[in-house]
Copies of this chain bind each other. A is one copy, B any other.
Amino acid sequence: MRELPHPPRDEIELAAVMQALADPVRLELVRLMDSDAAAPCAALAESVGVHKSTASHHFRTLRESGVTTTIVDGRIRFVRLRREALQERFPGLLDAVLRAAHANSPVSSRP
Summarize A's interface: helix, strand, loop or mixed: helix
Task: Select one of B15, B19, B24, B100 contacting A90, CB under 8 A.
Answer: B100
Task: Select one of B22, B91, B92, B99 contacting A18, CB under 8 A.
Answer: B22
A85 within 8 A of B: no
A27 within 8 A of B: yes
Restricting to A47-102, which residues have a CB under 8 Å from any CB of B? 89-93, 95-97, 99-101
A positions within 8 Å CB-CB of B: 13-15, 18-19, 21-24, 27, 89-93, 95-97, 99-101, 103-104
Closest 5 CB pairs of A and B: A92-B96, A18-B22, A93-B96, A90-B100, A19-B22
